[in-house]
Amino acid sequence: MTSNIPGSNWTTAGDILRYSFPRRFLRTMAKAKTKKKPVIDEDDFIPVEPLPPEPVTPTRRTDTGLVLDMEGYGSEVASALIVNGLRAYLSVVNKGVNLVATNRAHTAFSPVKISACAAGLDIKRDEAKPLVEAHGVLAFLLDDGEEQTNYYLPVAEYLEKAEDRGESGLRLDLDTHGEWLEKYEGHAGIRRVFAQLLS
């Protein structure tokens, strides 16, 4: 008589393993096969020839004679005007104004002459005088070696206060007119002098 109790008629350890681990589990526990690396014989090696170098084409150099804003002053002032809500267009002529400032609607314009200086606010009279009728603005980039300060002055007021130094042009002394200049310094100066364009 056969018993239904597992293990009652088992005789070997194999019977116990077959009961504990059915075939489906034994298949997954098979050993992983290791791949053998192919042996490369020196005779099978094919040398690779390098490609010929690409021909060198000469690069086109920028003609710096056509760049009118070599020092970057025009770009600097234009950026300051744009930040304050104006539109700015750099000039394409060597003499006269460096840029034109406009309102956002492009219905009102103001010419801007830029002058970079170190000691005082200097400009030649023949560069400033034609801007009076157009209600132009003088943008002075004053660099004393340690820091740069920008002033945006109405041309008419500058001509009233500036000292005429003959052939060397006009100069506005910083110490004498310091209090007046504070109103036209930096971003506050832009908003003050271009108030009509910003309204």
Is residue 91 within 8 Å of 100, Cβ to Cβ?
Answer: yes
**33 against 120, higher pLDDT:** 120
Confirm whether 85 is domain-assigned. yes
What domain range is 117 assigned to? 73-198
Q: How far apart are CA 93 and CA 121, in angstroms?
A: 23
What is the average per-residue pLDDT within 67-80? 79
Confirm whether 95 is domain-assigned. yes
Confirm whether 159 is domain-assigned. yes
Residue 193 has pLDDT above 90, yes or no: yes
What is the average per-residue pLDDT within 19-40? 60
pLDDT at 96: 62
Confirm whether 134 is domain-assigned. yes
If we measure between CA atoms, which residue out of 139, 95, 142 comes closest to residue 118?
A: 142
In this prediction, residue 98 has a pLDDT band, given cuts at 50, 70 and 90, of confident
Residue 154 has pLDDT above 60, yes or no: yes
Identity at 112, one-letter amino acid code: V
What is the average per-residue pLDDT within 79-84? 92
What is the average per-residue pLDDT within 167-181? 85
pLDDT at 3: 53
Q: How far apart are CA 77 and CA 56, in angstroms?
A: 40
Confirm whether 36 is domain-assigned. no
**112 against 126, higher pLDDT:** 112
Instruction: Work out how many domains the chain is built from and give that number.
Output: 1
Residue 152 has pLDDT above 90, yes or no: yes
What is the average per-residue pLDDT within 130-159? 88
Identity at 196, one-letter amino acid code: Q
Confirm whether 40 is domain-assigned. no
pLDDT at 60: 64
| pLDDT over 90 percentage in the chain | 21
Identify how many contiguous H helices and E strands the chain contains and give both numbers: 8, 8
Task: Indicate the average pLDDT of the chain.
Answer: 78
The CATH number of whichever domain residue 82 belongs to comes to: 3.40.1350.10
57: left (phi over 0), alpha (psi -120 to 50) or beta: beta
Confirm whether 92 is domain-assigned. yes
Confirm whether 153 is domain-assigned. yes
Other CB atoms within a 10 A radius of the CB of residue 24 amount to 7
What is the average per-residue pLDDT within 114-124? 83
